[in-house]
Amino acid sequence: MSYPNDEDGQVLARIAESGMDLSTPTMIEFAVAVQDEATSGLIARTLQQNGFTTEEYYDEGEPDYDEEDGEEFGPSWTVYVPVKCIPSYENVVNTQQKLGSIVNDLGGKMDGWELKLSKM
């Protein structure tokens, strides 16, 4: 299968090349970056009201955080949104757009996705 030449298409192409079956429903975890705990809670509640499951996560960052370095990162909040679907390009892009339309005005920013493979 051929995928568009953008970040999502490239990731899906690499996954397909690895031999994974992309024709069966799989858990995809979408990430929403937020600035603080209050925004994280607001976004999580709003997404839940729109039928999504959410998990809020706080990362303390690196203790020697230096903004000028650019390699390290400071404290951050992320709201994870797991969605079970066939991992097609259309499903990934459409879900990101739907989530983005909900979170963008609340201070969230879509921050990627990953397949969550079940443990054997």
- Give domain status of residue 68, yes or no: no
Residue range of the domain that includes 79: 23-61+73-116
Domain CATH code at residue 32 = 3.30.70.970
pLDDT of residue 70: 54
**Reported confidence tier of residue 120, pLDDT bands at 50, 70, 90:** very low
Nearest to 79 by CA among 53, 97, 61: 53
Backbone angles phi, psi at 83, to 5 degrees: -135, 125
**pTM for the model:** 0.87
- Give domain status of residue 14, yes or no: no
The answer to whether residue 31 scores a pLDDT higher than 80 is yes
pLDDT of residue 66: 56
Orientation angle between helical segments 89-103 and 7-17, nearest 10 degrees: 140
User: pLDDT tens-digit profile of 10-25?
Assistant: 999 999 999 999 999 9
